[in-house]
Amino acid sequence: MRNSFRQFLFVLVGLAIMLLLVLGSSNTGRRLALSAATPFIYAWRGVERGAAAAIGWLMPGEDSRTRELLEARTALRLAQIDAAATEGLRRENNELRALLSLPDFPGWRVVAAPVLTRDPATWNLGFTIGRGAADGITVGAVVMSGPAVLGRVSRLYEHSAEIVTIASPACRFSVVVAGTPATGILSGLGAFSTRSTPLCQVDFLPRDVQVTPGQQILSSGLGGWMPGGLVIGNAIVTESGNCTTIIDHARAQLTVAPLADFSTMRFVAVICPLPRAP
């Protein structure tokens, strides 16, 4: 009797294995197997939903608090993004207003230009703007940051231009000490660090020139490449305790702190001479 029962079990298991092999080897079989298993799958999903509902009933408000926390975090991130964008637009608007508040320059044309690139290695010495020969820009034209001189156009392309700033030794032009007839040549002292304040110097001033701390240095207008009277910076006291240093008992030299903002400029104004009528 026991042996017969064992033989019956072996036969039943063998038939089940053969049935599984047959069903798994054909599309029809697989569909039948899936149909047979579907009620059990739905039953298990029902158990899961019931368990989740039971947990929500035992701990009311847990899901709502989590949902509120996620919503609050999302709203905070969106507010931060909006604030950053608003601050950027505010700075751009302020710079554009400063450009538009420039006085009229008879015989000169003012072109607003966006700053495209700045080399991190020479951050304060030069940059590239998004205006060029097609916009009427000319080599040597003066570049303004707000009401103060920032540099000059050094190289020109069709739709862009390279600017050398007054912090660079390569930027040289004639200036005058405000309130005096004394003129000299301004050049940069080469501030390579982005954290350091750029400085300039004025050389070849008359030996007897009298300069006080804070006295303004202006463009002279000599040479015809820029208007006269543009603000460049203020004279500062040197290590000797005076504003001027006498060189070779023949000429005076002084140090200037530029008034142009080198840190966050996004737009500049280029003042170009208008073509002269033949």
The owner of tokens 């940051």 is 145
Please state the domain extents for the chain.
Answer: 2-58, 105-273
In the chain the beta strands, taken as DSSP E runs, fall at 108-117, 126-129, 142-145, 148-156, 161-165, 173-177, 183-188, 200-206, 216-219, 231-236, 244-247, 251-258, 267-273
% pLDDT > 90, the chain: 36
Burial class (CB in 10 A: 0-12, 13-18, 19+), 220: buried
* pLDDT for 105: 73
Measured N-to-C along each axis, helices 27-58 and 2-24 cross at an angle, to the nearest 10 degrees, of 100
* C-alpha to C-alpha distance for 247 and 63, rounded to whole angstroms: 80
Per-residue pLDDT, averaged over 53-81, amounts to 63
Q: Where is pLDDT greater, at 141 or 19?
A: 141
Looking only at the bridges linking them, the beta strands covering 108-117 and 267-273 are antiparallel
Single-letter code of the amino acid located at 157: Y
Instruction: Name the CATH superfamily for 105-273.
Output: Rod shape-determining protein MreC, domain 1 (2.40.10.340)
pLDDT > 90? residue 22: no
